[in-house]
Structure formats: structure tokens, C-alpha cells
């Protein structure tokens, strides 16, 4: 934990303390850290382990089980392409492949400039507008491969990394 | 406990309510094939799907390891549907398994191979992708090979139950799931104490000790003078590898085997256990008299020392500075013994037979190398010794009983023998402390209060009107309780014995596997009783010996007179004592 700054430790401990007395606080702690800091690296997991008594390996297991949690910082714009059944049969695989090709990263990765993270999502409940994707929560309906370049350009023009 | 009436294979039985089908069937004389299930649920239950049986009225087949029996239940194990399903479950596991059984060190003790055999499962029935593989062989102690892992979770449960450190866990998801230390690190880059408890429960070869047999072979080829020493716990379990009942002491046959394996000298580490008591008791008394750091804690168990360095780096001055007995013995062999025999220490190769995987890493520590001379050159586990014996064509069961070599380092006392079980080091120390403080022997010899398999024991011993409060812990989960007291400054004890593995060395990670399916002549509850049985083997040897107190070991006395001076002398410190250092749990990569 040597390289966590003092203020970071204080902030993480503050989050852990929110759930004192909870029988199973781990998911809530991890959710808050993910939401507030964008990722949960190993040294943060060590700190959680120390404060809660939950083994680091178990915490790491939870972090790597749920795709919502991330071990590395996510990009400024998180592109989530739905690969649920409806979207998939409507061609979302081709859409995510196109994003991967244009940005130059695989699903699950973040671009080197920190601008984009590409995620493959399971059904997001928007089957009526399949194929659908979300970017930082904003939903894009009925996306075709031809739309992809335009969407990427739109966010590129919005501005640089964090 | 209430009873319920059930039928298995059409026969009626009464069994305790609350048992699982698997447990109930076992009590009724059936053995449902299973793979992941272990020791009262010390595993990730129902993960392997091998123990499927038919239950009348149930939808589909049920996993008998989790399904509780209830009144009127009718269970069928042998139906074609159930046997086919069990076979398919095993074949599915085999489809994602590294199938190099001939090269696998676990061959002969592999539960997967066994269950494949009895279910009739064949490799290659299902073919497809395999989970990406990690092989970690960076530590001198344990090799982790995920290609052989069946995700039963026994190791995860054992590590957490024994030590509370939970080094291993399930990582990732679905087909990519592996069992690993956090971040899929090597054991060498995580705070693993290398005790090998995970190895002792693994059903396959996914977790194994790192074998040093080849290094012994090379030394032999190079014409080295080979000296072997055996830890006390080895004799209490080695016989199991040759079909003997658990708890059969095999000291004489073990010595006979070692002599036939071409070792030039066969010694007992118990000699150095006696030496350890002399050093440790002197250190303790001097700490008491000179206001030193108390409580003092034993340092014989390298698993425990690793734990202390990772988790209690701020309390290391409580550890006795004594090396562990086999390191002391190695140091004495390469100094005193070499000098007396006129052999260049560089030509001597010391092999320790230990019940322990952590001893391998201990022997490799920098602290135990001086001027290019290593105290101990190779450590073999009890299991590796059995392999060596089998490989060499020795019929162990038919060997005569022979004696350890008697010259220089040959004598040992009952106090040394009981080092192999929890409470044993404490009892050995008390026998000598009693003598030192009163000038006479403790009449009953034994100190009953420090015996037994409880995780934490405490006792108050009255010696000459002086109360000595002591405590004993095995398994780091228990040690933590005593250590937190020390950290908070409220420990009431003067002397504490800590051993890494639950029950002490007799249950070490290098001991023969205790797997009930391979032990048809043992009782059904053998997993609950094997530790006591092995410990009893050591206590029985102690009872048989004429000398039972370390200070009465005449060759230890001779060693002091001729070479070391007196306990804790300058030379003794150079050869027999060591230092510890706090270690970072997850070093940055």
C-alpha cells in the first residue's frame, strides 16, 4: 500500500466506514469506490482487506467477477455495446467490432489516450431499439455500423482525456 | 438428534436428521463417487457435480453432498441414469484438464484419476477450448498449476480456516475462473506462508510441493558426502505411504530405508531439537532475568516465521532468535561434525526430511548461508521420501528396524521427539526449565496441560513457587489472537509456542495425504482423528525412550564442552541463531 497517498487512504477509509455494522459490506464498499474513483486497484483492495478482515483474494475475486468493477482506470467515455440476444441478432457484434477497429482496442480495454473504454454488455433492457449502446449513460438506439465513425468523432471533438 | 427413515437402493435405514445424502449413505455403508466434497464442507460445495444420485420425486438428479436427507426419502445410486450422469460430470472436468498423468507428481494419489476410474469416465469424450493456464513455480516450496485445477475450492477453504489469511481465492468468471492468490500472483509475491495446507487437501496435482529429489540425485552423482536428518513428525506418518494404519510409528524402518538409499550418515533432527531447547530455554531465562522482550515466542516453524514477517513485522523481537532445529543441525554438521570428521564442509550435502513445505523456502533463506556454505542443501517432504524409497526398489514394509547413526550427533531424547506436535516444544522446554529452576527433574515428566489438539491452549506452571504462564497456538488464525494481545500490550504470557499448521508438524503440508477414499481400512471419521493418532505415535516414542529431557542429551553436552562453550555463547550465536525482517505483503510489481 506504500504508494497510496495519505489523502487517498483517508477517502477510502471514509467509504469503508459508511458500512460499519453491515454483515456483508463488500459489494457496497466496492460499488462506492468504483463510482467515486472509477477503478479499484490492488492496493485499495489491500486497504479494504485490512479494515474489514475480508481476504484480499476474495475481494479480488469479487472485483474480477463483476464487469461493473474495474482494476484499471476507465476512459473518459465508456462505450457499452449491448450484446444481448436481441441486439446481437440485429448486428451489435459488427457494431462493437467497428468500434474496436476505429479506436484500436479490444472490448474490456481502454484507449491509451484515456479517452475511450469499450465494454461488451449483456442485455441492457432496450431490446425494442436494438441494436443499442450507451455512452456514459446516454442511450444510442438502432445503431448501425455506418454510424460508428460519426459517434467516435463526436466524442473526440468533445475534448481530451481526464 | 432426531432420526429419519430413508431408503437407499431399496434398503431401509435410520439416519440422523440434517445429514446430507452423501454423509448418510456413507454411514449406511455406501460410498457415492464424489470429487470436490471434503471434510464437513471444507470446499466449494456441489461444484464438481460428480456425486449425483436419483431421489424419488425430485426434479432431475441431486447433488448428494448438499442435499439433506428427509423422512421417507428414497435414494438410488446405481441407476443407469445416475451412473451415466456421474460419468459425464467427470468427463466434462477431464475436458478442461491437463492430461499428462504420467508426468504428474500426484499420480497415485490423484482423486480425479480415481473417480474417473470408478465412474468409467474416459478422456477425450468432450473436446474444446481450455482455460488459459498459469504455472507458478517461483517459490522453493509450492507449485501451482491451474491446468490441473478442478475449482473444488478446498484449498481456498483450508487456507482461510487454518490461517484466516485467505491467500487463495476464485478469480474471474465463468470459463476463465481460476483459483489463485490475488492478482493471479505467484505465492512469492503474496503473503503466503508456504505451509502447504492447500497442497494437503488438493484432489489433483494443481498444488504440489516443489520436488528436490533431483537435487539430491545430483549431489549423489557429484560424489558429495551425504548427511540426512529426519524431523520427528516424519516417523509418525511415513508408514501411511506404505499402507500402514495412521499413527503407526516407523522410526526403525525409516532409518533402515535411508541407510539403503545411500546416505553416508543418518541422523535425527531431534538431536538439534534438544540443542534448540538448550538455546531457547537459556534465551528465555535470560530475557526473564534481564528484563528482555516478553513473551518470547518459539521460532521452529518456518510457516509461522513467514506469517510473523508478513503480518506482525512490528513484533518480531518477541520471536526467539534460535534457528529452527534442522537449520541448527545443518550448521553443526557443516562445522563441528566436519571438523571432527576431517571433511571439507563444501563437500558435505545435508538433506532434511521434513513434514513441511515451508522448510524448503526456509533452507533457501539468505540468513542461512555463510561464506558460500548453506546450513541445509535440500529439503524433502515425507511424501518425497516415500517416492524416493519406492523408486529405489526398497520394500519398506519388510525392512528391519535399524538405529540412527550414533556418533557425535546421534543421541536424542523424548523431548526432541514431541517437537513434532502442537504443545511439544513447550513441553520439552518446560521439562528443562523445571530442571534449571529447581535443580531436579519434573517427576511426572509430562506436562498434560499443554497436550491436545485445541487451537489455543494455555497453562500456568508452578515451578519452585514461581508461576510461569504459557500459551500454545497452532494455525495462524489462532496465533493471531495471541499476537493481537501482544500488540495491544495485554498478553499475560511469558512464553508462547506457535506452530504454523493446525495440530503442528504432524499435520504439516508435506505429510502423506489423508484422503478417506484411499484409506479403506481407516475409520469413517479419520479426517477428524488423524492428527491425534499421529501425535500419539510421537508421545509413545517419548514414553519408550530412557532419556526424556533435552539437558540429559550427553552428546549435546559434549558439543557444548568441545565446541560451543555454553548455551547462547558467541559461537552458539554465530551458528545457531538468526534474525527476521518485516516483509511487504504485496510488493509492487
Note the pLDDT of residue A2: 52
SS3 B174: helix
- Nearest Cα residue in chain B from A42: B183
**ipTM score over 0.90, yes or no:** yes
What residues of B are in contact with residue A54 (Cβ under 8 Å)? 166
Place of cell 481465492: B169
Query: What integer best gives the mean pLDDT of chain B?
Result: 96
For residues B155-167, average pLDDT: 96
Given pLDDT bands bounded at 50, 70 and 90, which one contains residue B180? very high
What residues of A are in contact with residue B584 (Cβ under 8 Å)? 2
Provide the shortest C-alpha distance from residue B486 to chain A (in Å). Answer: 18
Rounded to whole angstroms, the Cα distance separating B513 from B436 reads 40
Instruction: Say if the Cβ atoms of A57 and B172 lie within 8 Å.
Output: no
B80 by Cβ neighbours in 10 Å (0-12 / 13-18 / 19+) ranks as exposed
Best mutation target among B172, B180, B183 (most A Cβ atoms within 10 Å) is B183
Asked if B180 and B190 touch (Cβ cutoff 8 Å), the reply is no
Copy the grid coordinates of residue B129. 477450448
Rounded to whole angstroms, the Cα distance separating B414 from B558 reads 19
Note the pLDDT of residue A162: 46
Copy the grid coordinates of residue B415. 523431548
Q: Give residue-wise pLDDT tens across range B20-69.
A: 999 999 999 999 999 999 998 899 888 999 999 999 999 999 999 999 99
Percent of chain B scoring above 70 in pLDDT: 100
- For chain A, the straight-line distance linking the first and the last C-alpha, in angstroms and rounded, comes to 24
For residues B151-170, average pLDDT: 96
Q: Which of B320, B321, B352, B491 is catalytic?
A: B320
Provide the shortest C-alpha distance from residue B254 to chain A (in Å). Answer: 40
SS3 B370: strand
Instruction: Say if the Cβ atoms of B169 and A46 lie within 8 Å.
Output: no
Res B122 pLDDT > 80: yes
Q: How many CB atoms lie within 10 A of CB B273?
A: 31
Give me the torsion for CA of A43, A46, A50, A54, rounded to 10°.
150
Instruction: Say if the Cβ atoms of A57 and B585 lie within 8 Å.
Output: no
Q: Is B359 a catalytic residue?
A: yes
Place of cell 479494515: A51
Provide the shortest C-alpha distance from residue B579 to chain A (in Å). Answer: 24
Q: Is B403 a catalytic residue?
A: no
What residues of A are in contact with residue B190 (Cβ under 8 Å)? 56
How wide is the angle at C-alpha B49 spanned by C-alphas B44 and B55, nearest 5°?
115
- For residue B349, the surrounding DSSP H or E stretch is strand B348-354
**Partner-chain residue, chosen from B166, B172, B584, that has the shortest CB–CB distance to A57:** B166
Instruction: Say if the Cβ atoms of A61 and B181 lie within 8 Å.
Output: no
Q: Give residue-wise pLDDT tens across range B350-374.
A: 999 999 999 999 999 999 998 889 9
Given pLDDT bands bounded at 50, 70 and 90, which one contains residue B395? very high
Note the pLDDT of residue A160: 62
Res B389 pLDDT > 70: yes
pTM, entire model: 0.93
Per-residue pLDDT 10s for chain A (162 aa) are 557 889 999 999 999 999 998 999 999 999 999 988 889 999 999 999 999 999 999 999 999 999 889 998 888 999 999 999 999 999 999 999 999 999 999 998 999 998 999 999 989 999 999 999 999 989 999 999 999 999 999 999 987 644
Q: Give residue-wise pLDDT tens across range B408-429.
A: 999 999 999 999 999 999 999 9
With an 8 Å Cβ cutoff, the interface of chain B facing chain A consists of: 156, 160, 164-173, 180-183, 190, 584-586, 588
For residues B476-485, average pLDDT: 98
Copy the grid coordinates of residue A47. 486497504
What residues of B are in contact with residue A26 (Cβ under 8 Å)? none
Q: Is B279 a catalytic residue?
A: no
Rounded to whole angstroms, the Cα distance separating B431 from B247 reads 25
What residues of B are in contact with residue A42 (Cβ under 8 Å)? 182-183, 586
**Partner-chain residue, chosen from A3, A53, A60, that has the shortest CB–CB distance to B183:** A60
Rounded to whole angstroms, the Cα distance separating B363 from B233 reads 18
Q: Which of B362, B384, B411, B427 is catalytic?
A: B362
**Partner-chain residue, chosen from A55, A57, A64, that has the shortest CB–CB distance to B172:** A64
Expressed in percent and rounded to 5, the helix, strand and coil fractions of chain A are 50, 10, 40
Contacting A residues, span 137-156, partner chain B, CB-CB under 8 Å: none
Place of cell 542443501: B377
Note the pLDDT of residue A161: 47
- Nearest Cα residue in chain B from A57: B182
Q: Which of B91, B209, B280, B384 is catalytic?
A: B280
Amino acid at each position: 500500500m506504500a504508494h497510496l497517498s495519505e489523502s487517498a487512504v483517508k477517502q477510502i477509509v471514509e467509504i469503508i466506514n459508511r458500512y460499519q455494522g453491515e454483515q456483508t459490506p463488500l459489494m457496497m464498499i466496492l460499488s462506492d469506490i468504483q463510482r467515486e474513483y472509477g477503478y479499484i486497484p490492488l492496493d485499495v483492495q489491500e486497504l479494504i482487506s485490512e479494515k474489514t478482515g475480508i481476504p484480499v483474494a476474495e475481494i479480488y475475486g469479487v472485483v474480477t467477477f463483476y464487469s461493473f468493477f474495474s482494476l484499471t482506470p476507465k476512459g473518459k467515455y465508456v462505450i457499452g455495446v449491448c450484446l444481448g440476444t436481441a441486439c446481437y441478432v440485429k448486428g451489435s457484434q459488427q457494431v462493437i467490432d467497428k468500434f474496436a477497429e476505429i479506436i484500436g482496442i479490444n472490448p474490456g480495454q481502454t484507449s491509451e489516450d484515456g479517452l475511450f473504454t469499450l465494454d461488451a454488455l449483456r442485455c441492457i433492457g432496450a431490446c425494442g431499439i436494438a441494436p443499442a449502446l450507451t455512452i456514459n449513460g446516454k442511450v444510442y438506439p438502432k445503431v448501425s455500423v455506418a454510424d460508428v465513425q460519426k459517434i467516435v468523432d463526436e466524442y473526440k471533438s468533445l475534448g481530451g482525456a481526464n | 438428534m432426531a432420526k429419519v427413515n430413508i431408503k437407499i437402493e431399496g434398503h431401509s435405514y435410520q439416519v440422523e436428521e440434517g445429514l446430507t445424502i452423501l454423509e448418510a449413505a456413507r454411514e449406511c455403508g455406501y460410498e457415492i463417487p464424489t470429487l470436490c466434497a471434503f471434510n464437513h464442507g471444507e470446499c466449494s460445495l456441489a461444484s464438481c457435480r460428480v456425486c449425483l444420485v436419483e431421489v424419488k420425486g425430485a426434479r432431475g438428479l441431486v447433488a448428494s453432498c448438499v442435499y439433506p436427507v428427509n423422512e421417507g426419502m428414497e435414494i438410488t445410486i446405481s441407476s443407469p441414469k445416475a451412473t451415466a450422469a456421474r460419468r459425464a460430470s467427470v468427463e466434462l472436468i477431464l475436458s478442461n484438464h491437463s492430461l499428462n498423468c504420467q508426468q504428474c507428481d500426484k499420480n497415485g494419489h490423484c482423486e480425479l484419476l480415481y473417480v474417473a476410474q470408478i465412474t468409467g469416465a474416459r478422456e477425450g469424450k468432450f473436446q474444446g477450448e481450455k482455460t488459459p493456464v498459469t504455472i507458478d513455480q517461483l517459490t522453493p516450496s509450492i507449485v501451482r498449476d491451474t491446468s490441473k485445477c478442478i475449482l473444488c475450492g478446498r484449498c481456498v477453504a483450508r487456507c482461510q480456516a487454518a490461517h484466516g489469511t485467505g491467500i487463495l481465492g476464485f478469480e474471474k468468471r465463468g470459463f476463465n475462473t481460476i483459483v489463485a492468490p490475488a492478482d493471479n500472483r505467484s505465492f512469492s509475491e503474496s503473503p503466503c506462508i508456504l505451509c502447504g495446507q492447500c497442497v494437503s487437501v488438493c484432489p489433483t496435482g494443481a498444488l504440489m510441493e516443489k520436488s528436490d529429489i533431483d537435487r539430491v540425485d545430483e549431489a549423489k552423482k557429484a560424489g558429495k558426502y551425504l548427511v540426512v536428518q529426519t524431523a520427528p513428525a516424519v516417523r509418525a506418518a511415513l508408514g501411511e505411504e506404505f499402507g500402514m494404519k495412521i499413527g503407526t510409528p516407523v522410526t526403525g524402518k525409516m532409518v533402515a530405508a535411508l541407510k539403503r538409499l545411500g546416505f553416508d550418515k543418518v541422523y535425527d533432527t531431534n538431536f538439534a531439537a534438544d540443542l534448540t531447547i538448550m538455546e531457547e530455554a537459556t534465551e528465555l531465562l535470560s530475557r526473564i532475568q534481564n528484563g528482555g522482550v516478553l513473551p518470547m515466542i518459539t521460532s521452529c516453524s518456518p510457516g509461522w516465521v513467514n506469517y510473523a514477517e508478513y503480518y506482525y513485522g512490528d513484533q518480531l523481537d518477541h520471536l526467539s532468535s534460535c534457528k529452527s532445529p534442522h537449520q541448527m543441525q545443518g550448521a553443526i554438521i557443516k562445522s563441528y561434525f566436519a571438523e571432527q570428521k576431517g571433511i571439507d564442509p563444501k563437500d558435505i550435502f545435508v538433506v532434511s526430511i521434513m513434514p513441511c513445505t515451508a522448510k524448503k523456502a526456509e533452507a533457501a533463506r539468505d540468513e542461512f548461508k555463510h561464506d558460500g556454505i548453506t546450513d541445509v542443501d535440500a529439503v524433502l517432504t515425507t511424501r518425497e521420501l516415500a517416492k524416493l524409497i519406492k523408486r529405489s526398489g526398497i520394500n519398506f514394509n519388510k525392512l528391519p528396524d535399524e538405529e540412527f547413526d550414533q556418533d557425535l550427533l546421534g543421541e536424542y531424547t523424548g523431548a526432541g521427539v514431541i517437537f513434532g506436535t502442537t504443545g511439544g516444544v513447550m513441553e520439552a522446554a518446560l521439562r528443562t526449565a523445571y530442571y534449571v529452576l529447581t535443580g531436579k527433574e519434573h517427576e511426572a515428566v509430562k506436562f498434560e496441560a499443554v497436550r491436545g489438539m485445541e487451537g489455543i491452549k494455555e497453562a500456568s506452571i508452578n515451578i519452585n513457587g514461581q508461576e510461569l504462564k504459557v500459551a500454545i497456538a497452532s494455525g495462524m488464525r489462532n496465533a493471531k489472537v495471541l499476537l493481537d494481545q501482544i500488540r495491544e500490550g495485554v498478553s499475560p504470557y511469558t512464553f508462547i509456542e506457535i506452530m504454523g499448521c493446525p495440530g503442528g508438524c504432524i499435520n504439516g503440508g508435506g505429510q502423506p495425504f489423508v484422503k478417506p477414499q484411499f484409506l479403506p481400512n481407516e475409520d469413517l471419521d479419520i479426517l477428524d482423528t488423524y492428527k491425534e493418532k499421529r501425535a500419539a505415535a510421537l508421545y509413545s516414542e517419548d514414553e519408550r525412550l530412557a532419556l526424556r529431557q533435552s539437558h540429559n542429551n550427553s552428546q549435546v553436552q559434549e558439543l557444548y564442552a568441545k565446541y560451543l562453550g555454553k548455551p547462547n555463547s558467541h559461537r552458539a550465536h554465530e551458528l545457531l541463531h538468526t534474525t527476521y525482517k518485516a516483509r511487504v505483503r504485496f510488493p509492487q510489481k
